[in-house]
Amino acid sequence: MLLSGPIIVGHDGSDFSDHALRWALALADRAKLPVLVIRAWTMRTAPKPKTQEFGYVPPASDFADAVRERLEESTREILAEYPDVDVTLKVERGQPATVVVEASRGAALLVVGPRGLGGFKGLMLGSVSEHAVGNAFCPVVVVRGEDDPAQSEPEV
C-alpha cells in the first residue's frame, strides 16, 4: 500500500495516545512520511493560561497557547526518539471526535488510541476512536496500549 499525505495522530495526553504516537512515528520513520500531532481543546478541558487572574478571563488564544505548551511537554520525550521524522504539533478548539475527523482530510492515515482520558475503563473503544473509525476521510488505525510499544511497530 502506497501512502501519501501526513499521518495524523490524535493526542490527548493519555498513555493510550502516547502508544498511538510511538506507533505512528515508527511507521512515519520507515515510510518517510510527515506526522501531524493534533490535540483538540475546549474551554472546559484547556489548562489555565498564565495570564488568567481573578476577575479576568483571557482571550481564547491564551488558552490555545496553554494547550500547546501542554502538548509540547507531553510529547517531547517521545518525539526525541524519532529525530528524523518531520513532526508538526497543532492544537485546535473543538470536540475531539470532530477535530480528528476533519484533520483526516488528505491524510495518509489517522492513528488514535482505543480511548482517552475520559470515559469508562471497561469500554473497548472510546467515543473519539469509534467516531474516527466510522467517519474519517482516510484509513484509521486504533493502537492498543502495549507494555513495550516497540513490539507493535508497523512493518512497511
Which grid cell is 70? Answer: 501542554
Q: Can you state the percent helix, strand and coil of the chain, rounding each to 5?
A: 40, 15, 45
Helices (H), 32-59: none
At 47, give phi and psi (nearest 5°): -70, 160
Q: What pLDDT was estimated at residue 149?
A: 43
Domains and CATH numbers, the chain: 7-146 (3.40.50.620)
| Secondary element (H or E) of residue 78 | helix 60-80
Nearest to 36 by CA among 97, 98, 95, 112: 112
Given a cut of 60, is residue 56 above it in pLDDT?
yes
Interval 97-145: pLDDT, tens = 999 999 999 999 999 998 655 544 444 456 888 899 999 999 999 998 7
Contact (Cβ atoms closer than 8 angstroms) between residue 14 and residue 75? no
Contact (Cβ atoms closer than 8 angstroms) between residue 43 and residue 33? no
Range 14-33 average pLDDT = 95
Given a cut of 70, is residue 1 above it in pLDDT?
no
Interval 58-110: pLDDT, tens = 889 999 999 999 999 999 999 999 999 999 999 999 999 999 999 999 999 99
Contact (Cβ atoms closer than 8 angstroms) between residue 33 and residue 89? no
